[in-house]
Amino acid sequence: MFHRFHDKQKYLGSISSDNLEDLILNIGESRILSPLEWKDRCKKHKLENHHVCLTFDDCLKSQYEIALPILEKYSIKAFFFIQTVVLDGGLDYNEYFLQKINSQYDNFDTFFNSFEKHIIVDNDIFLDNKYIIYKNDLLDKFSLYSESEIRYRYLRNRIFSFDDFNNELARFFSLNEDEHDECDDIWMTKQDIKQLVNLGHTIGLHTHNHNINFTQLSKELKFNEYTVNKEKIENITDEKVWVSSHPLGLYDSDTIDILKSLDIECSFRSNNLIPEGKKIINPSNFEFARNDVANILKP
């Protein structure tokens, strides 16, 4: 599972084109299945432990500019999971603010120290058992997160509503409503997506808005998130979408019902632990485990 790529300076778990190339060579090109072969084997229950596929989430321009040339060099076809809000001039606020933090601060800790003072939260929340459980759970999945990155996610995902948290960040960065700068190079365009399809890559669903609290939405809103996403992608690609990845790894049984009703045949999660309440790592075609490249490349 890949997210951000960098040219010169590493940021927010990003990797370089050399890292990607090394990884492909280490895995071995012959083990990497194309999305269509993945689908075929998935339907016939013929996926084996040594099979691997490459997936890219979040419609990031850096994937197009830095990772795509490497995929082309090795003739590897991959999955790209797209949140369509960013193709219509909208913002994926989560990514937008993380990029903004990265461009304005030397490191995340420096940012978080000032932000924590700005939002004035009672520090006792970080002593609470709820926080400790949240932290341990997150570290199980993403062992490289620092304390301030975990606290940021806790405030974002558990303490504030999505809108309130974004408003706090906008106030912190002194942004007026509708004022977005530095966005042009964050996400791919519709033309980029079209080009990925022309090159034989597969585009999958990732919800329209990429909500950080997706599972807390009503079933109707979850359904809308996926139907709008599917319609917009199919309008660009002229192909039926058959695959998805759960936004920020968030899904529940409603989600799986919705995906089935939309003729989605397989979906990916964002960690490689056994899902809660299940006995095996890949309990169904809608819960394929993935390994974050940051965990694979960790020093």
Least Cβ distance, residue 45 to Zn ion (angstroms): 27
In the complex with Zn ion, the residue whose CB is nearer, 34 or 209, is 209
Ramachandran region of residue 224, left (φ > 0), alpha (ψ -120 to 50) or beta?
alpha
Least Cβ distance, residue 247 to Zn ion (angstroms): 5
Q: Which of 4, 39, 57, 244 is in the footprint of Zn ion by CB under 5 A?
A: 57
Phi, then psi, of 79 in degrees rounded to 5:
-95, 140
Dihedral sign, CA of 87, 88, 93, 96?
positive
Least Cβ distance, residue 23 to Zn ion (angstroms): 20
Least Cβ distance, residue 206 to Zn ion (angstroms): 6
In the complex with Zn ion, the residue whose CB is nearer, 47 or 82, is 82
Which residues are bridge partners to 281 per DSSP? none
Q: How many residues bind Zn ion (CB under 5 A)?
A: 2
Contact yes or no for 33/52 (Cβ under 8 A): yes
| Contact region with Zn ion (CB under 5 A), list: 51-59, 107-115, 135-143, 254-262 | 51-59
In the complex with Zn ion, the residue whose CB is nearer, 126 or 268, is 268
Least Cβ distance, residue 205 to Zn ion (angstroms): 11
The reply to whether 58 sits near Zn ion by the rule CB under 5 A is yes
Q: What strands, in cross-sheet order, belong to the sheet with 79-82?
A: 55-57, 79-82, 202-205, 243-245, 266-268
- Binding residues for Zn ion, rule: CB under 5 A, are 57-58
